[in-house]
Amino acid sequence: MKYIITVGVILCLLLITSCEKGVDSPRGFSLPQGNAELGKQVFIKYQCNGCHQLDDIAQPEDAEFAIKLGGKKTKVKTYAELLTSVINPSHKFARGYPLAEIQQDGKSKMKVFNDVMTVSELINLVTFIQPHYELLPYKTTNYQYYSYR
Ligand code: HEC
């Protein structure tokens, strides 16, 4: 019995550490600080409110969806997940909605903006949305220690 538990613990540890250090892990991921006010404008420019509820931003009458952004009941738990849900929406699906409604053939019905949105817009957008989630903290680049080579 003891043996089984020890092996179990080792396997778990291996799994956890290998995930963290794997090339696919979000470890070391960091974007510069964005501007939330500009991010709000990005949200409106790309009509995210055509499918999402956020703050007091009104939804149009013909809104396709009313998927709430922010709050606790969501799969978005980290900064990396928030970014991923914008640039790769099919990676995970929002909780609390019938799958048949929000996806088709395994793909999210969310519009992908990767070919039109600039990186600066994305950074500002995520900075605007972030405070609406209780996300695990992430480290932005500390320019004090930033060295140019
Ligand atoms: C055409 C409709 C549509 C538009 C436009 C749209 N989305 Fe979405 N979005 C969805 C759907 C449907 C989901 C749920 C499926 C999923 O999680 O991919 C979703 C999910 C999300 C999630 C994850 C929510 C969660 O709780 O897991 C975020 C964050 C998000 N969208 C942000 C945005 C932002 C930011 C924009 C504007 C740049 C945007 N969306 C534009 C339809 C849309």
Q: What H or E segment, with its residue span, contains residue 53?
A: strand 52-53
Closest ligand 1 atom, CA of 125? 35
Q: Which two tokens stand for residue 100?
A: 């048949």
pLDDT tens, residue by residue, 8-48? 666 666 565 555 667 877 778 888 999 999 999 999 999 99
Q: What H or E segment, with its residue span, contains residue 29?
A: none
Rounded to the nearest whole angstrom, what is the distance from the C-alpha of residue 52 to the centroid of ligand 1?
A: 7
Domain presence at residue 149: no
Ligand 1 contact, 113 CB (< 6 A): yes
Instruction: Return the residue whose CA atom lies nearest to atom 27 of ligand 1.
Output: 94
The answer to whether 79 touches 138, Cβ cutoff 8 Å, is yes
Domain presence at residue 68: yes
Instruction: Give the count of domains, the chain.
Output: 1
Q: Distance (Å, rounded) from C-alpha 34 to C-alpha 123?
A: 5
- Structure letter (DSSP) for residue 115: T
Instruction: Return the residue whose CA atom lies nearest to atom 40 of ligand 1.
Output: 48
Domain presence at residue 17: no
Residues spanned by the domain of 89? 31-139
Domain presence at residue 19: no
Instruction: Return the residue whose CA atom lies nearest to atom 14 of ligand 1.
Output: 94
Angle between helices 119-129 and 79-87 (to 10 degrees): 130
Is the pTM here over 0.85, yes or no? no
pLDDT on residue 80: 87
- Structure letter (DSSP) for residue 35: -
Give every residue of the chain whose pLDDT is below 50, as ranges.
none
CATH number, domain with residue 80:
1.10.760.10
Q: Which two tokens stand for residue 27?
A: 């470890």
